[in-house]
Amino acid sequence: MSFKTFHKNLVVNCQMITFPDQVMEVLEYDDFYVVMTDYHQSSTNENVYGIDPNGFILWQISTFKSSIENKEVKDLFFNPYTSIEKLNSRHVKLIDFNNQSIIIEAYSGCLSDDK
């Protein structure tokens, strides 16, 4: 599979996906991509996405890391992901702005049960 990035766009198999922020990093899996967008001027804390080989966004990372229950406070809490790391053929490690990390399943975006 091949891909290209420019500004807010990712091109996968001739399909262009436009994100709300600049594409910063792309991890390639078998028939799948995990994309992280810019965190410096991010419009969202949920700045990691799963993309299929046809160029469709299959998932956007959920808010896992905050235990803040008050939505108004949570919306003011700036904590996007700043790094993504391919751990193996199934898992991605995400590190956020506060250096907290989680491990997710690459193909679903769900928290991993594997330890």
DSSP per residue, 40-57: TT-S-S--EEEE-TTS-E
Q: Is 35 exposed, middle or buried (0-12, 13-18, 19+ CB in 10 A)?
A: buried
| Structure confidence at residue 79 as a pLDDT band (50, 70, 90) | confident
Q: Please report the pLDDT score of residue 42 as a whole number.
A: 81
Q: Please report the pLDDT score of residue 17 as a whole number.
A: 95
Is 67 a member of any domain? yes
Q: Where are the alpha helices (DSSP H) in 1-115?
A: 71-76
Q: Please report the pLDDT score of residue 12 as a whole number.
A: 92
Is 111 a member of any domain? no
From 31, 22, 45, select the one nearest 3 (Cα to Cα): 31
Amino acid at 12: V
**What domain count does the chain have?**
1
Is 113 a member of any domain? no
Residue 78 pLDDT > 90, yes or no?
A: no
Q: What pTM does this model have? A: 0.85
Average pLDDT in the 74-103 region?
87
Sole residue written with tokens 């996007």: 80
Is 50 a member of any domain? yes
Is 96 a member of any domain? yes
CA distance 5 to 3: 7
| Structure confidence at residue 64 as a pLDDT band (50, 70, 90) | low
Kindly report the average pLDDT of the chain as a whole number: 86
Average pLDDT in the 70-98 region?
81
